């Protein structure tokens, strides 16, 4: 193993050198023998070869760190492969390595904080919120005066579905409560229920989506014979002290207490909107020129990769192919996101340094709680969302976002650290 270290600037290094093919082959043989000895039969040869190659790469980087006399605790992020080349009898590596930059936080950075006026909930907005809340909490009851089905009603239906003249599993029900507008049925079904009258029967024709979970139904047209039994609507009670006690689960609550809670929610939402749309961007824009330090190349490269993935997510196959086949075009694409990547990395490092200065920490349970709230608001499964973030190495990014908001919230006086 031949290793050379070149110091680019005060924090960035390039480790270059070769690893003989024989070293890699010996490592693979060793990994296979150990797996056999430990009865790790679930590992394929390909997995063992990948593990061995990973260990060889780690040994190469470790040798470079030792050669450069770098202290492990100063390393920042993961080593980034700059170049990988299979030679006749060896593999050539070039690896970006960075240490943490020194960021001087003993400066006056609080002068960047914009002035703002804390929102106050409008009494009319509180009353509107109360009325909306009362309607949301109201039970559905059969309408007293006959009319046709409206969007938002619950329609009590019998229905039988047919495909090519035959019924199918799961296509029939009696006295089924369908909330119109819930989008819980096949696209187009609920819209055709609107306007139906009491005791009316009609045939509704819809097509199952091409990606429908039941493959035997996907893409097929179905005829549903539908009969309307009853229409239910939400009939909100007039909010009073009893309503407040029930909603707040507090025997001492009053309508005034509930209105105060709703006012807090409105104020919080308006303050959050002000922060996200105006205050936060202003603080970041003002902080950036306050600090001057070298950016870690490996982190910048990783951020470029992330932005490229985000940018190309909507590309079709032909667009992806054009960037794969045209190296110059791909280089231009990376160059187009370079400045944004540098700004993101610099911002994150400033935030991290200021959070330490202000004694602000974000714990893992806070990240999971935030992801849980995000899942609830977007109708996703919380556990699946956490797994997605973990699998795609996004937990650190989520934690940084929370740290940023917590820091700025403290600096702006929203809450205590």
Final residue of a structural domain among 98, 128, 155: 98
Question: Which residues, including other chains, have CB under 8 Å from residue 185's CB and lie 6 or more apart?
Answer: 178
pLDDT given at position 415: 66
Tally of domains within the chain:
3
Q: What is the DSSP letter of 90?
A: E
On whether residue 277 sits in a domain, the answer given is: yes
259/366 same-domain check:
yes
Residue ranges for the chain with pLDDT beneath 70: 415-417
pLDDT tens string 170-195: 899 999 999 999 888 999 999 999 99
Do 61 and 114 lie in one domain? The reply is no
Strands 12-20 and 2-7, bridge-based pairing:
antiparallel
Does a structural domain hold residue 194? Answer: yes
Q: Are 383 and 260 within one domain?
A: yes
125 in a domain, yes or no? no
Instruction: Provide the β-strand partners of residue 83.
Output: 94
**What per-residue confidence (pLDDT) applies to 378?**
79
Encode pLDDT of 62-78 as tens digits. 999 999 999 999 999 88
pLDDT at 45: 79
- For 207, the domain range is 139-234
Tokens of 211: 């990606």
- How high is the pLDDT of residue 394? 80
Burial class from Cβ neighbours inside 10 Å (0-12, 13-18, 19+) for residue 288 reads middle
Same domain, 40 and 68: yes
User: Cα(159)–Cα(225) distance, rounded to whole angstroms?
Assistant: 5
Q: What is the pLDDT of residue 313?
A: 84
Residue 54 and residue 143 in one domain: no
Answer whether residue 131 is part of any domain. Answer: no
- pTM metric for this prediction: 0.71
Q: Which long-range contacts (CB under 8 A, 24 or more apart) does 72-79 make?
A: 74/99, 74/100, 75/99, 75/100, 76/11, 76/100, 76/101, 76/296, 76/298, 76/299, 77/296, 77/298, 77/299, 77/302, 78/298, 78/302, 79/15, 79/298
Parallel/antiparallel/unpaired status of strands 2-7 and 154-163: unpaired
Looking at the fold, whether 194 and 275 belong to one and the same domain comes out as no
215 and 94 in one domain? no
Q: Select from 100, 101, 103, 104 the least CA-distant residue to 74.
A: 100
Please tell me the distance from the alpha carbon of residue 55 to that of residue 49, in angstroms, as a whole number.
10
The verdict on residue 104 lying in a domain is: no
- The answer to whether 75 touches 65, Cβ cutoff 8 Å, is yes
**347 and 395 together in one domain:** yes
Based on the fold, state whether residues 267 and 407 are members of the same structural domain. Answer: yes
């Amino acid at each position: 193993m031949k290793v050379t270290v070149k110091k680019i600037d005060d924090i960035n290094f390039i480790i270059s050198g070769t690893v003989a093919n024989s070293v890699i082959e010996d490592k693979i043989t060793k990994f296979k023998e150990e797996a056999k000895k430990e009865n790790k039969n679930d590992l394929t040869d390909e997995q063992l070869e990948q593990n061995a190659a990973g260990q060889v790469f780690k040994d190469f980087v470790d040798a470079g760190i030792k050669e450069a006399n770098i202290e492990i605790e100063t390393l920042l992020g993961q080593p980034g492969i700059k170049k990988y080349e299979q030679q006749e009898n060896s593999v050539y590596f070039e690896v970006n390595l960075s240490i943490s930059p020194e960021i001087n936080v003993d400066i006056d950075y609080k002068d960047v904080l914009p002035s703002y006026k804390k929102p106050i909930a409008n009494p009319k907005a509180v009353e509107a919120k109360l009325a909306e809340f009362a309607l949301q909490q109201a039970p559905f009851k059969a309408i007293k005066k006959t009319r046709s089905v409206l969007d938002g009603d619950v329609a009590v239906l019998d229905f039988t579905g047919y495909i090519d003249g035959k019924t199918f599993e799961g296509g029939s029900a009696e006295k089924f409560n369908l909330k119109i507008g819930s989008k819980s049925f096949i696209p187009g079904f609920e819209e055709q229920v609107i306007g139906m009258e009491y005791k009316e029967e009609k045939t509704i024709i819809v097509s199952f989506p091409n990606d429908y979970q039941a493959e035997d139904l996907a893409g097929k047209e179905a005829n549903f014979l539908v009969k309307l039994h009853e229409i239910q609507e939400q009939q909100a009670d007039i909010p009073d002290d009893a309503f407040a006690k029930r909603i707040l689960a507090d025997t001492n609550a009053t309508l005034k207490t509930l209105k105060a809670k709703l006012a807090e929610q409105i104020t919080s939402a308006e303050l959050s909107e002000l922060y996200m749309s105006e205050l936060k961007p202003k603080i970041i824009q003002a902080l950036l020129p306050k600090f001057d330090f070298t950016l870690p190349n490996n982190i910048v490269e990783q951020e470029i990769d992330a932005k490229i993935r985000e940018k190309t997510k909507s590309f079709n196959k032909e667009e992806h192919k054009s960037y794969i086949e045209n190296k110059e075009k791909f280089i231009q694409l990376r160059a187009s996101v370079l400045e944004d990547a540098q700004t993101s990395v610099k911002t994150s490092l400033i935030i991290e340094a200021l959070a330490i200065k202000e004694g602000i920490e974000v714990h893992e349970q806070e990240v999971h709680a935030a992801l849980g709230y995000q899942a609830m608001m977007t109708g996703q499964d919380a556990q699946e969302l956490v797994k997605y973030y973990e699998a795609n190495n996004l937990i650190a990014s989520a934690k940084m976002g929370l740290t940023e908001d917590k820091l700025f919230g403290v600096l702006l006086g929203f809450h205590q650290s």
